[in-house]
């Protein structure tokens, strides 16, 4: 018994000692890491690549942007620093960045991958994303965006010191459902779609544009005779996420605007919110401000290919449920005929957006972003083998029939609008 007791004590001591040892042989303290929030890729001279990363300064972020200055005064500091390098590959650029960064670059917290429009149009997309597919630090929920503006303007706006692009861009994207004016594309989905037979890829669009409120303020100041004072003010710029970058094969082909982007999402069954405004009455005098605004509650869709008598077509069935949010025609919503009329108008508005997206994708870009080829492949695998070599031409002339079922679920807290007694 005494020997067994000693063995148990010895085993316990060994276990305690092992637990006290570090568990990560390559562990690095956070103070020695350069935490990256955004990585951006751009075209560089001589066919090279420019990589820009945004390194976060957590001390400034935690302190609200205040750092100690001389004499006990506080100086304002940016909570990030952008660093760039040029090379032949992304990995080469990242190693060159280490010549400027005093810390080990750490990408596990990266949330956003920015690709310039120029690079997306001139370099094969599979060569751009190969690095992200192989690197274990990049999570599959990274957002993928194509920038219409200069990369440097998106990553560092003048005056935007409190909220770096690292935080601002993902926060905007998380509110995508409020408009559904652009697709929510993450790295994992982008890579999966890129390898899918019969489907072209797309990405979110991003750009920098003037702050309209400040533009109007400056114009108002000039009209009031304060032109000199207003000219000394700099108009602020805003980052805007919207629209869709469309790829044909492995190169970017063009853009869908915001309404066309929602047309794409209707077909994909991915409109999870947003507002549509339609006229109150089918035949309304131009200029009359009589309309109904509805918010989308739910969207489902189904793409159904049909091969009849040697002719291929596609039927897209779209189911939409909405709720009335605002009425400017002062009509009681208890009237069934009026509700039916609004539902028809809603279906018509959806059809217009889908047809606009189809026209751009099919005829202008010849890009199968809807995945029609994929559903044909899935339903008619033998026929797909025959159609695949000529799919680009077949797709451009493919008949697409829309069946839209739009329903109003709720009309708000009131059915009868407010009346002013004179």
Residue 71 has pLDDT above 50, yes or no: no
Both tokens of 231, joined, read 């000219």
Report the pLDDT averaged over residues 70-89. 71
Residue 207 has pLDDT above 50, yes or no: yes
- pLDDT band at residue 9, thresholds of 50, 70 and 90? low
CA distance 206 to 190: 17
User: How many C-beta neighbours within 10 Å does residue 197 have?
Assistant: 11
Residue 263, classified by CB atoms within 10 Å of its CB into exposed (0-12), middle (13-18) or buried (19+), is buried
User: How many C-beta neighbours within 10 Å does residue 243 have?
Assistant: 23
Residue 360 has pLDDT above 80, yes or no: yes
Residue 116 has pLDDT above 60, yes or no: yes
Predicted pLDDT of residue 102? 80
Average pLDDT of the chain, as a whole number? 85
Predicted pLDDT of residue 226? 59
336: helix, strand or coil: helix
Both tokens of 154, joined, read 């998106």
Predicted pLDDT of residue 74? 40
Residue 63 has pLDDT above 80, yes or no: no
CA distance 247 to 232: 42
Q: Calculate the dihedral angle through the C-alpha atoms of 222, 224, 228, 233, rounding to the nearest 10 degrees.
A: -60
Report the pLDDT averaged over residues 30-59. 88
Residue 215 has pLDDT above 80, yes or no: no
Q: What is the 3-state secondary structure (H, E, C) of 354-396?
A: HHHHHHHHHHHHCCCCCCHHHHHHHHCHHHHHHHHHHHHHHHH
DSSP string, 223-253: HTT-HHHHHTSPPPEEEEEEEEEEEETTEEE
Predicted pLDDT of residue 161? 47
**Angle of helix 125-134 versus helix 187-194 axis, rounded to 10:** 130
Domains of the chain: 30-256 (no CATH), 259-416 (3.30.300.210)
Predicted pLDDT of residue 162? 58
CA distance 246 to 266: 16
CA distance 320 to 278: 15
Report whether 49 contacts 124 (CB < 8 A).
no
Predicted pLDDT of residue 68? 46
Total number of residues shown for the chain: 422
Both tokens of 351, joined, read 């059809």
Predicted pLDDT of residue 419? 67
419: helix, strand or coil: coil
CA distance 322 to 172: 23
Predicted pLDDT of residue 408? 92
pLDDT in tens, 249-276: 999 999 999 999 999 999 999 999 999 9
The residues, ordered by sequence, that sit 6+ positions from 77 with a Cβ below 8 Å of its Cβ are: 57, 60, 65, 66, 67, 161
| pTM recorded for the entire structure | 0.84
Which residue in 247, 40, 59, 287 sits closest to 155, CA to CA?
40
Which residue in 17, 182, 193, 34 sits closest to 98, CA to CA?
34
The residues, ordered by sequence, that sit 6+ positions from 169 with a Cβ below 8 Å of its Cβ are: 38, 111, 112, 143, 145, 154, 206, 239, 241
User: How many C-beta neighbours within 10 Å does residue 218 have?
Assistant: 18
In 111-135, which positions are buried (b, 16+ CB within 10 angstroms) versus exposed (e)? bbbbbbbebbeebebeebbebbeee
Residue whose tokens read 């069934």 = 336
CA distance 217 to 231: 11
């Amino acid at each position: 018994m005494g020997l067994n007791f000693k063995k148990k004590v010895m085993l316990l001591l060994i276990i305690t000692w092992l637990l006290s040892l570090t568990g990560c042989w390559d562990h690095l303290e956070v103070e020695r890491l350069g935490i990256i929030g955004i990585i951006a890729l751009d075209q560089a001279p001589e066919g090279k690549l420019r990589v820009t990363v945004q390194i976060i300064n957590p001390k400034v972020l935690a302190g609200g942007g205040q750092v100690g200055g001389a004499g006990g005064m506080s100086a304002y500091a940016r909570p990030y620093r952008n660093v760039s390098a040029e090379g032949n590959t992304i990995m080469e650029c990242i190693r060159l960045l280490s010549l400027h960064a005093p810390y080990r670059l750490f990408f596990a917290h990266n949330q956003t991958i920015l690709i310039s429009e120029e690079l997306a149009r001139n370099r094969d997309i599979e060569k751009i994303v190969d690095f992200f597919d192989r690197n274990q630090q990049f999570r599959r929920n990274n957002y993928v965006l194509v920038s219409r503006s200069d990369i440097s303007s998106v990553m560092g706006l003048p005056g935007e010191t409190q909220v770096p692009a690292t935080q601002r861009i993902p926060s905007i994207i998380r509110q995508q459902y409020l408009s559904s004016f652009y697709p929510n594309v993450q790295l994992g989905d982008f890579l999966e779609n890129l390898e899918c037979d019969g489907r072209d890829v797309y990405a979110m669009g991003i750009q920098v544009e003037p702050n309209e409120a400040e533009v109007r303020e400056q114009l108002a100041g000039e009209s009031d005779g304060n032109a000199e004072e207003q000219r000394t003010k700099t108009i602020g710029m805003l980052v805007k996420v919207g629209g869709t970058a469309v790829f044909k094969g492995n190169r970017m082909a063009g853009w869908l605007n915001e309404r066309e982007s929602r047309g794409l999402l209707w077909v994909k069954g991915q409109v999870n919110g947003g507002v549509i405004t339609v006229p109150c009455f089918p035949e309304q005098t131009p200029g009359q401000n009589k309309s109904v605004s509805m918010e989308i509650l739910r969207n489902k869709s189904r793409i159904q290919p049909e091969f009849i008598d040697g002719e291929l077509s596609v039927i897209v069935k779209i189911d939409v449920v909405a709720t009335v949010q605002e009425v400017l025609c002062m009509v009681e919503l208890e009237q069934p005929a009026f509700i039916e009329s609004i539902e028809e108008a809603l279906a018509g508005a959806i059809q217009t957006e889908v047809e606009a997206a189809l026209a751009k994708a099919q005829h202008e870009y010849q890009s199968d972003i809807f995945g029609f080829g994929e559903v044909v492949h899935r339903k008619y695998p033998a026929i797909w083998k025959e159609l695949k070599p000529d799919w680009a031409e077949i797709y451009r002339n493919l008949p697409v029939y829309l069946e839209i079922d739009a329903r109003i679920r709720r009309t708000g807290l009131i059915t009868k609008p407010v009346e002013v007694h004179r």
